[in-house]
Structure 1
Amino acid sequence: MSVDSRTLGWLTRALTHEMSAVQQYLAQSVLARLWGDIALAEKLRHEAAEEMEHAERLMERLIQLGVAPSATNLAPVRLGRSRDVLLAVDRALEVDAVRLYQDALAHAQRMHDTDTAALLESILHEEIAHVNEIDDMKMEQTNHD
């Protein structure tokens, strides 16, 4: 099967992003737990699981295309000294994901790769939902202060 190298590049970038997100959310979950903020720790752990599911779906697509998945050069974990800083860092991570998936989706559509496009579009919608969830958490925090 002949696969567009740029499509593989987008899928690999997306996989690297997702694995970086898993690492960040898990580390932040540990930090929140150490702060005693169990609700935030559980939310961050749940986010890590969702990002892992995205990574699994991307890996499956890469394998279907005959390529061994390989996430490289994971982004460093960004922590923070407060819940607000964590949420700001995570929002930036999710906004980056939205941009990545928008660009990757546009490429897949140009290439008429409907299977990859469907995968990317599905994950894109989930990443947009993540941004909205973070915004809601920030609003809830503001309303409690």
Structure 2
Amino acid sequence: MAIHRLLGVVALALSQRLQFYALNNSWGAAMRKFWAATLGVFFATAAYCQVPAPAPPKAAPEPSAYCRSAAQILFQGGGDAEIANVSRSCKRGDIIAINSSAQGSVFQVGRLCDFTKSVVVMGPQTLCALAAERGLR
């Protein structure tokens, strides 16, 4: 808002200055001063109105995939070693299958699944997205 007031004051001063030069018949000097002032206002406005360059676009996240090795590891057992192997062999966000009828499957779902995403139970399998590794409480 302040820049608009400043430009209005400058335009008013220039118009009064031109009227003065018109009365004194010194148009050559008046036109040089008018264009110098106009260019000065133009460049000041152009410098004031510049914006920073936009940020580069972020790389798209890799799509999730089904981690088959997790099902094989969890089929063997459900201890801390198996859960650590799943975390090493699959990346966060991958879909894993946990056998619901296996001993410790509730423990595995609680430690491995990301509950901010869907958890689907299909027959004897529980499908969920792999979360970041969580410890016991």
TM-score (norm 2): 0.35
Q: Which has the higher helix share?
A: 1
Q: Which has the higher strand share?
A: 2
Larger radius of gyration: 2
TM-score (norm 1): 0.33
Q: Which structure ranks higher in relative contact order (CA pairs < 8 Å, sequence separation ≥ 6)?
A: 1
